[in-house]
């Protein structure tokens, strides 16, 4: 997108000029559309779960803006020679059930022949134009809350190598199918200043977008950042670092300084590319405790404060212990 000129229109409230999660277009003074699309390739063996994860992942960008998803379109690519129609039907059933859970009917879609199986949703949501939560409006003094644990990239890479146990597969599936809906509703209610969802660029990549966009620094407490212990154990033993994570590390290293106590395996988890990750929320320090209590009370049990927003060090991140 950087190669294209930014799109502008009088009603375009959030466009391609910032690295935000979705576009926002004003229809009237109190109603705007939120638009996003995301497509993924298989991460787990169960076609139904893959469909659910794809839908939760696509819906997440609407939630990251503080919007409500309204309708969605399926985008599906598969090769009829390689994939049975029953499998395709299961994928769509998973996506449909997850979209239903979000109160967002899938009203149509498009299928193309594709050598590599993939599915995603184009989602349309709505939002009050006065309540858009961007990723470029964090304020110094804010606390940062992360709502899901990291390590999905390492775990799905290990899964592809046939190295995960059944309980481990259930654990990562449970994390990835969880909608960010409750987290989104609560962050809006508690007046969050900024947010994004943690996906392909990893925690540090998406945190960097908040820092750069907002002109602030971030300080993260490595000891507080949640991740699956299984992911740490596996990466210490055998790596399982995805190509996306390697790229994240290369791109981000100049913006991140780690203290010596943060070991190289922890660093990789913080760079780890996620699918359907949690929300990273920047909220006033006075509201952070109340938001966290509400998150825990309404089922977002793994949410934790992982750091804070600083005046100094604008655009950059310090990770210490």
Please, which residue, 136 or 310, has the CB nearer to Co ion?
136
At closest approach, how far in Å is the CB of 63 from Co ion?
Answer: 9
Q: Looking at 32-40, 121-129, 139-147, 273-281, which segment touches Co ion (CB under 5 A)?
A: 32-40
Residue 37 near residue 120 (C-beta atoms within 8 A): yes
Please, which residue, 121 or 231, has the CB nearer to Co ion?
121
Among 20, 49, 142, 197, binds Co ion (CB under 5 A): 197
Please, which residue, 199 or 235, has the CB nearer to Co ion?
199
Hunting for tokens 């606390």 — which residue is that? 143
Among 38, 209, 266, 272, binds Co ion (CB under 5 A): 38
At closest approach, how far in Å is the CB of 21 from Co ion?
Answer: 4
Q: Looking at 35-43, 127-135, 145-153, 214-222, which segment touches Co ion (CB under 5 A)?
A: 35-43
In the three-class reduction of DSSP (H, G, I as helix; E, B as strand; rest coil), residue 68 is classed as strand
Among 20, 61, 266, 272, binds Co ion (CB under 5 A): 61
Q: Does 266 bind Co ion (CB under 5 A)?
A: no
Residue 12 near residue 52 (C-beta atoms within 8 A): no
Which residues partner with 219 through β-bridges? Answer: 308, 318
Please, which residue, 21 or 230, has the CB nearer to Co ion?
21
Q: Residues with Cβ < 8 Å from 205, sequence gap 6 or more?
A: 248, 251, 252, 271
**Position of minimal CB gap to Co ion:** 21
Please, which residue, 135 or 173, has the CB nearer to Co ion?
135
Q: Does 20 bind Co ion (CB under 5 A)?
A: no
Q: Residues with Cβ < 8 Å from 285, sequence gap 6 or more?
A: 141, 142, 143, 308
Please, which residue, 21 or 49, has the CB nearer to Co ion?
21
Among 14, 19, 21, 151, binds Co ion (CB under 5 A): 21
Residue 32 near residue 25 (C-beta atoms within 8 A): yes
Distance CA 68, CA 59 (A): 9
Q: In what order do the strands lie in the sheet with 217-221?
A: 194-197, 279-283, 143-146, 304-310, 217-221, 317-320, 256-258
Which residues contribute to the site for Co ion (CB under 5 A)?
21, 38, 61, 197
């Amino acid at each position: 997108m950087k190669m294209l000129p930014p799109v502008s229109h009088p009603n375009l409230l959030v466009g391609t000029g910032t690295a935000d999660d979705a576009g926002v277009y004003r229809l009237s003074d109190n109603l705007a559309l939120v638009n996003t699309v995301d497509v993924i390739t298989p991460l787990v063996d169960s076609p139904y779960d893959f469909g659910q994860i794809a839908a939760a992942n696509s819906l997440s960008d609407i939630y990251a803006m503080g919007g409500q998803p309204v309708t969605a379109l399926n985008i599906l690519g598969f090769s009829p020679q390689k994939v049975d129609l029953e499998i395709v039907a299961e994928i769509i059933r998973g996506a449909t059930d997850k979209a239903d859970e979000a109160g967002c009917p899938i009203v149509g879609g498009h299928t193309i022949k594709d050598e590599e199986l993939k599915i995603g949703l184009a989602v349309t949501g709505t939002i009050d134009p006065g309540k858009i939560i961007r990723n470029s409006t964090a304020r110094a003094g804010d606390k940062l809350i992360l709502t899901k644990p990291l390590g999905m990239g390492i775990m799905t890479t290990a899964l592809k190598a046939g190295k995960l146990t059944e309980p481990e597969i259930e654990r990562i599936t449970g994390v990835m199918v969880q909608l960010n809906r409750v987290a989104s509703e609560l962050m809006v209610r508690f007046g969050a200043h900024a947010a994004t969802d943690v996906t392909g660029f990893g925690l540090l990549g998406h945190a960097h977008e908040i820092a750069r966009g907002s002109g602030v620094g971030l300080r993260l407490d490595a000891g507080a950042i949640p991740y699956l212990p299984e992911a740490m154990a596996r990466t210490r033993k055998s790596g399982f670092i995805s190509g996306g994570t390697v790229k994240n590390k290369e791109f981000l290293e100049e913006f991140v300084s780690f203290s010596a106590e943060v070991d190289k395996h922890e660093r990789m988890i913080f760079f780890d590319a996620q699918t359907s990750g949690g929300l990273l929320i920047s909220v006033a320090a006075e509201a952070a405790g109340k938001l966290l209590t509400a998150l825990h009370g309404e089922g977002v049990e793994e949410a934790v404060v992982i750091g804070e927003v600083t005046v100094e060090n604008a655009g950059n991140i310090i990770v210490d212990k």
